[in-house]
Amino acid sequence: MARIGAARLSAEPSSPEQHDRRRRIVRAASRIGAEKPFERVQMHEVAKAAGVAIGTLYRYFPSKVHLFTGVMAAQVDRLRDQVTEPAPGTAPENAVADLLVQASRYLMAQPVLAASMLHASNTAHAATVADTVHIDNTFREILLRAVGIEEPTVQDVRLVRLLMQCWYGVLQLSLNGRASMADVESDVRLACELLLASRSNAS
């Protein structure tokens, strides 16, 4: 089982140079993780590919769980930057379903990396892996924006959280060979319809 490094939190970069080193580490982990499964990725290999000392890597990512949760956080940030406002008149469930289907296709294009990111994110504890909170908050922001909600209620947040967990589960089934990509897309659209139908009715 992966070492989670519960005794030490990740350091946060403060200078431009530190941010650059952290980004290089994440990019290197993404490249290597696209070719090797989680258990075969070696931290020293990532450090070498990123051009940083092994101590620098462990400073920002005390374990592989931290590292691949950080990779997932970067992917979620990229998704947020690519999201556009839905066309006027688009039903909320359709807007969110289109977004999640697009994200699913993007992730599943690199299934080995997707498996590592989901494994790390599901294993990580929010108290010791800060990127988990960033992933949850950013993904919630993305979905709420797709629905068109600027001031979410407690119920809105709960529905989005359920939808996120459903999406993660469907992706995991596909990665385990128990669902096709067509199944993923149809399941995602059904989940959006069931969970967000009340939003369409409210509109």
Q: Is residue 76 part of a domain?
A: yes
Question: Residue 194's domain spans which residues?
Answer: 68-202
CA angle 95, 99, 101 (to 5 degrees): 115
Q: Is residue 123 part of a domain?
A: yes
Q: Is residue 187 part of a domain?
A: yes
Task: Copy the structure tokens of residue 126.
Answer: 């929010």
So what's the pLDDT on residue 147? 86
* 133-143 per-position pLDDT tens digit: 999 999 999 99
Q: Is residue 154 part of a domain?
A: yes
> How far is the CA of 109 from the CAs of 49, 65, 103, 197, in angstroms?
22, 21, 10, 30
pTM score = 0.89
So what's the pLDDT on residue 63? 96
So what's the pLDDT on residue 11? 85
* 56-114 per-position pLDDT tens digit: 999 999 999 999 999 999 999 998 888 777 778 889 899 999 999 999 999 999 999 99
Domain at 131, CATH number? 1.10.357.10
Q: Is residue 38 part of a domain?
A: no
Q: Is residue 132 part of a domain?
A: yes
Q: For residues 116 and 113, what is the distance between their CA atoms, to the nearest angstrom? A: 5
Provide the domain count of the chain: 1
Q: For residues 179 and 171, what is the distance between their CA atoms, to the nearest angstrom? A: 8
Q: Is residue 5 part of a domain?
A: no
Mean pLDDT of 44-54: 98
Q: Is residue 87 part of a domain?
A: yes
So what's the pLDDT on residue 26? 98
The answer to whether residue 167 scores a pLDDT higher than 70 is yes
